[in-house]
Structure 1
Amino acid sequence: MTAQDSGAKTPEEATNFLYPFIDSEEHDPQALLVDLAQSAQAKAAESTALRRSTLAASGELVESAGAELARRFAAGGRLFTFGNGGSSTDSATLAALFARPPVGDPLPAWCLTADQAILTALGNDVGFELVFARQLIARAKAGDIAVALSTSGSSADLTVALREAKRRGMYTIGFAGYDGGAFATSPDVDTCFIVRSQSVHRIQEAQALLGYQLWSSVHEKGAVVA
């Protein structure tokens, strides 16, 4: 029986770098607590530094995108967000921020991952790559806004949806990590926010802050529903 068959960890396990103390031979509870605290502090410091550098690099993009969103909302535009996995929950949070803001007027925003019946029906009937594009065909119009959140920036269902959004005259925004993936060079993405990190966790944390800054920019510009 191999180590993999028995469920035993191997020294080369890919996730060891995230929590090195898990395989530690340390049996002193106090020492383990120190390791845990140091690990959390290191991750927090890394996250803070990345968010600061990302905001600094994206400030002008946030302002220009915020101005375009405010203009489109004022003209009757609506916001549609979407993503996969953890990015689907981030897209839901972003849509809720616009639709149910802590301050200011609510703006029309929907997350396309919210309806399980629609997602499973489309995935089963026409294919998973079309689960967001088909919703945009049914619901969106010229003047609306499409926001795709991804860590890779290359997910097929997102790139297909952004292509459809662009074809329909929507303003398209992509959130990506790493080097931006397909979003970074796509003619279907009007604005691409890139979080330059190799960590999915840190990418999504920084993207969440970028989303808030985008909403804040729209709010400061006095966006109203037409």
Structure 2
Amino acid sequence: MSARVEGAIGALYPFLDAQPTDVETVLAAVARSTAEKAAEIVALRESLVAEQGQRLVDCARRFAAAFRAGGTLFAFGNGGSSTDAQDVAQLFLHPPKVASPLPAISLTHDVALITALSNDVGFDVVFARQLAAFGRAGDIAVGLSTSGGSTNVLRAFEEAARRGMLTVGIAGYDGGRMAESEVIDHLFVVPSASVHRVQEAQTTLYHVLWELTQQALADEL
């Protein structure tokens, strides 16, 4: 293993560095690291409730109005955000408890379509082209990005806005290019420099958004 790789691993997990150590020391370091990370995500989630709670309620009400009018939710993202997009679609379409299933599609699910568009046209349009084909005015576009700077996600938002769709961004760090966009109706930013904490908190955000949407549909919000 190169010194560069060892250094990167050591920065993330100092208890796994190349220096010999005893098992008790390693276990104590693992326990301490786990407790610190758990405390970080709890504090981050609590701060999001305080800072973005009302905005989540407002967004959920617009979700409910869109679904009542026959709208469909389209979710998209890259890498880890791709799996989150699939989770968003699964959550709305196949809720984990007794709740109303809502029409939702993940644009990252069809590998054949994504690879065809990437190969024949370009990766920047893999989501925008799908929204151009399937999206309608009144539908919902939910784009996820830890950096907020994914070009294909931003292109999808532009296409969604042209079609009169409700646009919702979920980003990390300082929001990146998403925060500069004029076509995103609702933007939720997880203010953390850790990609791990960002994605953990983003999961909380869209689960809360789903629960609030269900409440809004039941006229309880």
TM-score when normalising by structure 1: 0.92
Among 154, 159, 176, the residue aligned to 2:154: 159
Describe the superposition over 1:96-143 as per-residue Cα deviations: whole angstroms up to 9, x where unpaired. 000001221100001000010010011111100000000001111000
Among 19, 25, 29, the residue aligned to 1:35: 29
Number of residue pairs matched?
218
Among 84, 89, 112, the residue aligned to 1:90: 84
Contact kept, 8 Å, 1:81 with 1:147, in 2: the verdict is yes
Report the CA distance between 1:64 and its aligned residue: 0.5
Report the CA distance between 1:26 and its aligned residue: 4.5
Which deviates more from structure 2 when the two are superposed, residues 51-60 or residues 91-100?
Answer: 51-60
Amino acid in the other structure paired with 2:15? F
Task: For 2:140 and 2:5, locate their aligned partners in 1 and report how far apart those are by CA, in whole Å.
Answer: 47
Amino acid in the other structure paired with 1:152? S
Among 4, 7, 16, the residue aligned to 1:13: 7
Task: For 1:60 and 1:15, locate their aligned partners in 2 and report how far apart those are by CA, in whole Å.
Answer: 39
Amino acid in the other structure paired with 1:99? L
Task: For 1:62 and 1:195, locate their aligned partners in 2 and report how far apart those are by CA, in whole Å.
Answer: 13
Contact kept, 8 Å, 2:6 with 2:18, in 1: the verdict is no
Contact kept, 8 Å, 2:75 with 2:85, in 1: the verdict is yes
Using CA pairs below 8 Å that are at least 6 residues apart, which structure has the higher relative contact order? 1
Q: Which runs of 5+ in 1 are unaligned?
A: 1-6
Correspondence for 2:61: 67
Amino acid in the other structure paired with 1:104? A
Which deviates more from structure 2 when the two are superposed, residues 186-195 or residues 10-19?
Answer: 10-19
Contact kept, 8 Å, 1:73 with 1:223, in 2: the verdict is no
Among 207, 210, 216, the residue aligned to 1:215: 210
Task: For 1:119 and 1:41, locate their aligned partners in 2 and report how far apart those are by CA, in whole Å.
Answer: 39
Q: Which runs of 5+ in 2 are unaligned?
A: none
Task: For 1:147 and 1:192, locate their aligned partners in 2 and report how far apart those are by CA, in whole Å.
Answer: 10
Amino acid in the other structure paired with 1:68? R
The equivalences for 1:1-226 within 5 A come to 7-10=1-4, 13-23=7-17, 25-102=19-96, 103-222=98-217
CA RMSD of aligned residues (A): 1.6
Contact kept, 8 Å, 2:75 with 2:105, in 1: the verdict is yes
Amino acid in the other structure paired with 1:43? K
Q: Residue 126 and residue 223 in structure 1: after superposition, are their counterparts in 2 closer, same or farther (change >3 A)?
A: farther
SS across alignment from 2:10: coil
Describe the superposition over 1:26-73 as per-residue Cα deviations: whole angstroms up to 9, x where unpaired. 421122111111111111111111111122211011000000000000
Amino acid in the other structure paired with 1:117? A
Task: For 1:8 and 1:124, locate their aligned partners in 2 and report how far apart those are by CA, in whole Å.
Answer: 34
TM-score when normalising by structure 2: 0.94
Identity %: 51
Amino acid in the other structure paired with 1:36? V
Amino acid in the other structure paired with 1:73? F
